[in-house]
Structure 1
Amino acid sequence: MDVVLHETDGNPVPGNHIAGFFQGHRGAKLRYAIFRAPDPVAKGTVVLLHGRNESIEKYYETINDLTARGLWVATFDFRGQGGSQRLLKNPRLGHVTRFSDYVRDLELFLEHIVLPDTRLPFYLVAHSTGGLIALAAAPRLANRIDRMVLLSPFVDLGGQKLSAGKIYVLSALLRWTGLGRLRLTSDSPLAPFEGNPVTSDPERYRRNQEILRAHPELALGPPTARWLYEAQSTMRKVSNPAHLASIMVPTVMISPGNDVLVPFASQERLSHYFRAAQFVPVPGARHELLQERDRYRAQALAAIEAFIPGSDEGPAVP
């Protein structure tokens, strides 16, 4: 099957790219793309990790920002979402058997796609669930990733009717009784802008909704109980001070002050034990910093640009 990167009005596919599938952990078929910078000399490669219910298409604007400053971008859709293989008969359910499957997929992506097909040095930029995956993988990334940026990392569960603790107990009970594929919540991929928790920018929100209207096969519905259990178990693991102390990759954590999905206080608390990380708050911003209004998004991009120097700090690779 041909690999297609979709475009919509106002959201064209960035040029100078290749796209394909690679084989993830246990044979999962995962869609990826590499976007080359227009510069004849590469300043390095950003490995871009999305959040839950996101796809490559949502990040075209950010990809253009990064390639415009001489960086290549390598990215892929996580198993069970976007243009990658879905894991259940109902393709709208967000599911994973083990959260470590995501980590192994990232390692295979670095080994089989990023290392042979892109340019050193390698950096990692991860949003939300991608940030949780990066934190889980980080102790083993020191020899491959030079620097890491985490945006609104998914280290706690907020914005739900039940407390995070009650959701953990309920999801664990369903998993242990063989009902882990049931969903605990309902949501709509085409929710109205008013009252949304992810961005205060109506135009970027409209653009992202238009992607799902035009290509509903990219959309994902609510997570299963198993997904919630696995995610929260991983949050507990990565929040352990011993795990954080084992991370040697220099990191910047950029956290929106008005994040209700991943409470700001939880992100700030994790940073206190994260010796390799510098904490950068963005007051007033909502969860999706790279989809936010310019006043907030520009702060996040400035922090990324200041921290990821590419060849400005070392030899360029043609």
Structure 2
Amino acid sequence: MIHAAPRSWPAHIEGGRVERGVNVPQSYRLVRRDARGDRTVVRLRSGATFGGDEVAICAGPCGVESSEQLEMAARAVAAAGANVLRGGAYKPRTSPYSFQGLGEDALKMLRHAGDRYGLGVVTEVMDPRDVERVAQYADMLQIGTRNMQNFPLLREVGATRMPVLLKRGISATVQEWLLAAEYILLGGNESVVLCERGVRSFDVATRNLLDISVVPLLEEMTHLPVIVDPSHAMGIARLVPPIAIASVAAGAHGLLIEVHPDPPNALSDGAQSLDCAQFQQLMRRLAPIAEFAGRRLPRRYPERAVSSENVSNPDSAVRSSRSGVRLA
């Protein structure tokens, strides 16, 4: 009989209890906490960081619906202090009849808004064939919950040098999640950020069940940064602020929050989206919590910042020059 070898396997063999020992490698060797001496800090071209002293704030609409809608959202989240603009161009919807996104037109809008308001851009990529296209506009590629184990997609983003936001699968264990990250690192891309967004449970009181305990747990298990998406975890806008605050207090390196200028009329996920005023209020509440956790909210860099005085006049916002991000 052949067994995976325990630490004392030579003694077992000598005693005749096993025929042969087989050394089984660690299942996730590259993402392990002790795989490197320091913790990974993922930096976007915009200057936003994940894993350092700042709490990265990624905010924006679930889906890009129009240039006007995105302009209003980007202006508001930048003024409130966010440093990354989120928005869906390609939407993985449960129903084929739901809004599927505007595709490359939305990518162009995201890039324009990000440059205008000094925000990094994170957006989801769903198909390996779209990675190069999305990478031309985005600063960070998001792998959504439905694609956490889309192995061809993981390999494709692993072959880039683009920062990747890897969401936990809706029913994934922590080990499965880390193994998905291992696929990306194995391809040579070490710029990976993990995102806890809740898992499916028997309880339907909230959209998902947020596993906030995974934040300090992953701090021990991996060198990769971890952020939290309270919007998809709760599915109810009024519950997003307290969960966002709790996540930062637990040690999350960032938040992914849905913000829409008119949530009741949003084409997707309006029920869980904060309006612009609610997001601004949340940011005020987060500042002392981040300090308590030994971090700080993002600094608005002068050459990129949009002040509260000029958000009413978007033409006065500073444009940042940027060339498209290409695959390595």
TM-score by length of 1: 0.36
TM-score, length of structure 2 as denominator length: 0.35
